[in-house]
Structure 1
Amino acid sequence: MIGKQLTVLTGNSALRVGNVFSVLGREGINIRAHCLVDNGDGYCKLRLVVSDPDKALEVLNANKLAAVTNEVLIIETDDKPGGLSHMLELFRDSDIRIEYSYIAASEKPGTAAMVFRFSDNEAARRILNP
């Protein structure tokens, strides 16, 4: 499934990152997944999948937090050994690259949800759902 991800550039202290989470929480926006990557300069990229990405973008920007959205694939696979490798095997004959991925909360028992940003999300979606 194609979904929206927010990327927030923020300081990498627990206080700064916690502020992003607090701003969203006060507005009733649930965080389904997050990934924090340190830039090495006192800042980090905080990637988020949330319950209402459009509202979250508006709220973050209104609170002077620099945020943008982009498309990602949210993929559910069997939550068992080899589930992820089996899914990635579908890409063996393509030149699609994984730019990054991280784990997400899954609403279905027995499944694992993952967020992927591919070099071509639409082509990746077609491979996964022919």
Structure 2
Amino acid sequence: MTPRSILIVEDDKDLRESLLDLLVIEGFSVVAAGNGEEALQVLRKGGSFGLVLLDIMMPVMDGVAFMHAFENEFPHLIGTTPIVVLSVLAGQVHLPDWVTDAVAKPTSLDKLVELCERCFYTLH
């Protein structure tokens, strides 16, 4: 795993690129995927991340389907790789117990950076 590495899974291109730019400026190593299937492909190719920021509503493969596939394909990462749901549906969708946090969009960029920092400080 690359220190302070984040996988962003977000279908909104503008938001995805803004998050990527912000987190890189804050010193994180970031890879972005446009949907759950793209994120799984990154992980299958050996991508290793200290945190996953996950949207729920996405085309091709939504966040709920991604979480099921993640749990089935990468059970060794459950509990060691924080998953933070970042979605307008945060609090409205049943999430697995192993999801670290759920944050409603929109959220302030400062709050998001603080959450990322906390995930790395607490779990790594």
Q: TM-score, normalised by structure 1?
A: 0.27
Which structure carries more strand by proportion? 1
Q: Greater relative contact order: 1 or 2 (C-alpha under 8 angstroms, separation 6 or more)?
A: 1
Which structure carries more helix by proportion? 2
Q: TM-score, normalised by structure 2?
A: 0.28
